[in-house]
Structure 1
Amino acid sequence: MLPTGLYPESPPWRTHALEVPHGHVLHVEESGDPAGICAVVLHGGPGSGTSPLLRRFFDPARYRVIGIDQRGAGRSRPRGATVHNRTIDLLEDLQRVREQLGVPRWLVVGGSWGATLALAHAAFEPQAVAALLLRAVFLPSAEEIGAFFQDSAGRAPAAWVRFASVAPAGERHDMLGFLARGLQQVPADGDTELPRQLALAWWRWEQTLGRGAGAPAGEPPAAQAEPDRNTLDALVDRYRVQSHYLLHRCWLDWPPLLDRLAALPRVPTLLLHSRDDRICAPESARAVHDRIAHSQLQWVDGAGHDPAHPAMACAMVAALDGYGRHGLFGNAPAP
């Protein structure tokens, strides 16, 4: 059940099929008040696609919310495509969307990979960013990526054994590599059963680690129904894109990027993170907070990695309500 603090669903009043280079067509949607504060919402993954939940953090009477399905994700086409799909392509797409919609500056809101992309966007086009709201920021280092796939911290040992069982014993030392090969190669006989099995295993593992406080760490996820066949096909495409990015550490070199972030203009910047997040390490939020001197870091404990957890949803809504009223996130001091 979603928390009651969320705003009611606000369906898009306009959608766009934006053609960008190399044969990609982006799904872009606008909701809320056409004359409101302009905000762009960057979804996670990579490859997940935008969702109605992401719009419900915003007061539709105050905000014009722009949602974008990134290359290969959601309703963008071709879905699951990895050719000409790198971080620099997404950054150039953000510039194209902004110019197409006539937006000089926008509030940038992102969670998980979306927070990563938001930071890269701020470094790439600082003049376009009016403010940053970052949930569960992810720094795609070899250590953080490896910790997720190999469970090096022993966060859910029994669940990891179930996850790793989809790979032969000799390949379990490199789960990301094994999954990427299985998801990115289309079988010659057209049989998609193996990619579906890999996607389901990945999804179950992600669900286990993503839950907030109170969820038994070693139990298989029960909060969401198992994906049906159509949903599994979408998950295959999603994880194909995600593995493509993660294999290349999202084409981001974090030390120099953090240096560039230290020189960002002083715009309102709030990081929300749970200290029990088992997917995106809390240390990543601390690292970004340390480099952006004017940023605020708010711990939302108990939420895990779940954007719909009541504590995280309420923190997101409160931050955006504050920004909508007086240009600051909640009670955060001016930068």
Structure 2
Amino acid sequence: MKRLYPDIGCYSSGYFETGDGHTLYYEESGNPDGFPVLYLHGGPGAGLSPGYRRFFDGNHFRIIAFEQRGCGRSKPFGSLENNTTQHILNDIAALRAFLKVDKWILFGGSWGSTLAMMAAITEPNTVSGLILRGVFLARREDRDWFISQHGAAATLFPEHYEMFTDGINPPITTTSVCEHYQRMFDSPDELQRLAALKRWYIWEERLSRLSLPHGTGEFTSHYPINLMTSLAKLECHYLSHQCFIPENFILQNVHKINHIPGTIVHGRYDVICSTKSAYTLHQAWSNSELQIVQEAGHSTSEPGIALALCRATRDMSKYLREKK
């Protein structure tokens, strides 16, 4: 981790209104005259993680980030109303106009990679490059990989999956899991509600990397209640609605971004998002480079993933400087 770029504080932050009941937090850091890059966090519902700026050289990038609807410092917290993929795509476009950006690089991991691809397909003329990590194409097979009893996650982590799906009658599908958790999240019993939020959060955390730090990934561990709430509620909400994306939409429309240069970084042993999805996207996207990181899973906290992302942003800034 010492080889990441130095973390820098933001020079501007604030809120902007969506016009349909949400107020979104955003911030800018780095060089105001640098190449604009939009950092898209994962989840849905994860919010901005500490140190996310360390993937960028602050001398070359104008780093823009915001917290998506219902999470982090955006308001109302945990709200599912007017919270769909199309709403977030509208927010991305509105933020770009608000900050007077003509074209920017889209940098997204996991769910953030989905949003980056969707935004680029929707408005390819506004995107100068793409950097994606832990590709999630939002197809049924991608959702089942993470949640279904026949998915890779359940196969590799059966004891954790048993705790995650406790109380759900077989056959256990992505749909039945999401329906069960939605009922628990709406329970009038606070202890039941909090236990369900924690179970969902722990399931994702246990899958996120090859080796967890001591004291994490167990039900006795302590986690921030806000992060547990937004991540669990919003992930369940989106998965329940097929991520509000038509089946196979990204691959069917990837030709619209073939002219945009991009790098795909994916951990060889990613259990949340399948490596096959990253490979399939790379094959369909002629202007992409695929970097499969050995001995790594899903998380940016894994050194190999973090360093690959730093190289990707360095190479992108070099490419754009030479293109000028």
Listed as ranges, the matches of 1:1-150 within 5 Å are 3-150=1-148
Report deviation, 1:126.
Answer: 0.7
Within 2, Cα distance between the matches of 1:16 and 1:233?
A: 20
Mark the CA change 1:56 to 1:45 in structure 2 (over 3 Å): closer, same or farther. same
Q: Secondary structure at the match of 2:194?
A: helix
Q: Please tell me whether residue 291 in structure 1 is matched to residue 287 in structure 2.
A: no
Native 8 Å contact 2:215 2:221 kept in 1: no
Amino acid at match of 2:192: L
Partner of 2:222: 227
Within 2, Cα distance between the matches of 1:281 and 1:168?
A: 25
Native 8 Å contact 1:7 1:56 kept in 2: yes
Name segments (4+ residues, structure 1) moved above 6 Å.
none
Native 8 Å contact 2:46 2:227 kept in 1: no
Amino acid at match of 1:27: Y
Partner of 1:241: 234
Mark the CA change 1:211 to 1:257 in structure 2 (over 3 Å): closer, same or farther. closer
Q: How many residues align?
A: 318
Q: Secondary structure at the match of 1:237?
A: helix
Q: Secondary structure at the match of 1:22?
A: coil
Native 8 Å contact 1:126 1:265 kept in 2: no
- Unaligned stretches of 5+ residues in structure 1: 329-333
Report deviation, 1:161.
Answer: 1.5
Report deviation, 1:196.
Answer: 1.3
Q: Please tell me whether residue 276 in structure 1 is matched to residue 269 in structure 2.
A: yes
Please give the per-residue CA displacement for 1:271-291, whole angstroms capped at 9, x wherever unaligned.
111121000011111221122
Partner of 1:176: 178
Report deviation, 1:171.
Answer: 8.3
Mark the CA change 1:27 to 1:264 in structure 2 (over 3 Å): closer, same or farther. same
Native 8 Å contact 1:195 1:236 kept in 2: no
Q: Please tell me whether residue 314 in structure 1 is matched to residue 307 in structure 2.
A: yes
Within 1, Cα distance between the matches of 2:195 and 2:62?
A: 39
Cα-Cα RMSD = 2.4
Q: Secondary structure at the match of 2:20?
A: helix
Native 8 Å contact 1:44 1:111 kept in 2: yes
Listed as ranges, the matches of 1:199-218 within 5 Å are 199-212=197-210
Q: Secondary structure at the match of 2:78?
A: coil
Report deviation, 1:261.
Answer: 1.3
- Unaligned stretches of 5+ residues in structure 2: none
Please give the per-residue CA displacement for 1:246-293, whole angstroms capped at 9, x wherever unaligned.
111111124343222113251211111112100001111122112211
Please give the per-residue CA displacement for 1:64-92, whole angstroms capped at 9, x wherever unaligned.
10011011111110011111111111111
Identity percentage of aligned residues: 32
Partner of 1:327: 320
Q: Secondary structure at the match of 1:14?
A: strand
